[in-house]
Amino acid sequence: MGLTIIVFLALLMGVTGSPNVTIRPEDASADDGLTHSTSFPETSEEMEIVGQQNVSVPEEAFEDVMATGELNPNHYPAQRAAKAVQHYLNTRYGSPYRVLILNRVHSGFAEDVADSGRKYKLEISVQDLISNKTEKCTAEVLFPRGEQQRPPQVQASLEELPNTNTKAEEEALFQKYKTNQSLLTENLPDSYGHIDPDMEPFWHLGSTAASFIMLSESTENTLYNMAQVANVTQLETENDQLKFDYHVLLHDMISQEIIHWKLLFTWSPPEGVKVLQMEKLPHSHHNETPQNNN
């Protein structure tokens, strides 16, 4: 009988596995590369990520969401606050030739601030998606309390940008499209996970503009990445600014929902990205499927 019990317990352990599963920093930022979708899905399970693993967040990563004091850098609370820093940095420094992503969380500390909210103090590394260079960053993120959702307040300090030599490329792109009013494309990446090299700057530009949405929508219960540019249309140039209408798909890794947004913004090398309008598209719009023109 004793041998039977031991064998039964061994089999049970083999089925259930170990409960101690956490998010590694590289897992939490896996969607920040060129994540690819083949259709307009409702959830991330319907998405095909070409060339990368489609990462889901294990339940164990949600534990101690409201913990104070030192945080596990690999767990959800620190990773989520660090993501808000990533989006903040892109709203300030992003361009068609610079997109910053979270590389690693080195340390995190959380505290309640009276009735204001919860403040996170972080040391992280950010990486330029294009040059692959990294730089350390210190930051504070305050998630406000209250019935009405408000964007997190972020302060971040970079010693220097991972890649600063983008002026020539930006100016060349601006001059090329300043008199061009015919840019119209669908699905970046396309249905095969491919982005034409000439369109890569517009994927990066969409990532930068989408960071304005993701920062505004970030809470202690979200973890956003951009999944796809569904389409982009260049509008008539105004005030020496290129003007674009984007439809982007955002992936909330926590709810596993794919959320569609419309973005109207301008860009120029000296002014950067200026968002004019952000509109969350109705849920019924998600059922559309992009045309495969290839």
DSSP codes of every residue in 114-170: TTTEEEEEEEEEEEETTT--EEEEEEEEEEE-SSS--PPEEEEEESS-S----HHHH
Question: CA-CA distance, 253 to 30, in Å (whole number)?
Answer: 11
**Mean pLDDT, range 99-105, rounded to an integer:** 96
Q: Residue 5: its pLDDT value, please?
A: 41
The position carrying tokens 């903040």 is 88
Per-residue pLDDT, 65: 52
Q: For residue 115, name the pLDDT band (cuts at 50, 70, 90).
A: confident
Quote the pLDDT of residue 180: 76
pLDDT, one tens digit per residue, over 201-247 is 999 999 999 999 999 999 999 999 999 999 999 998 888 999 999 99
pLDDT cut 70: percent of the chain above it: 73
Q: Maximum CA pair distance of the chain? A: 85
Per-residue pLDDT, 64: 47
Q: Model pTM?
A: 0.75
- Select the more confidently predicted residue: 288 or 148: 148
Domains recognised in the chain with CATH numbers: 21-287 (3.10.450.10)
Q: Which of 139-148, 188-197, 201-210 has the highest mean pLDDT?
A: 201-210
Among 253, 173, 241, 246, CA closest to 213: 246
pLDDT at 112: 92
pLDDT at 85 > cutoff 70: yes
**pLDDT of 2 higher than 60:** no
Average pLDDT over all residues of the chain: 78
pLDDT at 66: 60
Is pLDDT at 17 greater than 70 in this prediction? no
Position 10 scores a pLDDT of 39
In this prediction, residue 277 has a pLDDT band, given cuts at 50, 70 and 90, of very high
Q: What would the two tokens of residue 119 be?
A: 């403040």
Digit-coded pLDDT (tens) for 159-185: 888 767 889 999 999 999 998 777 888
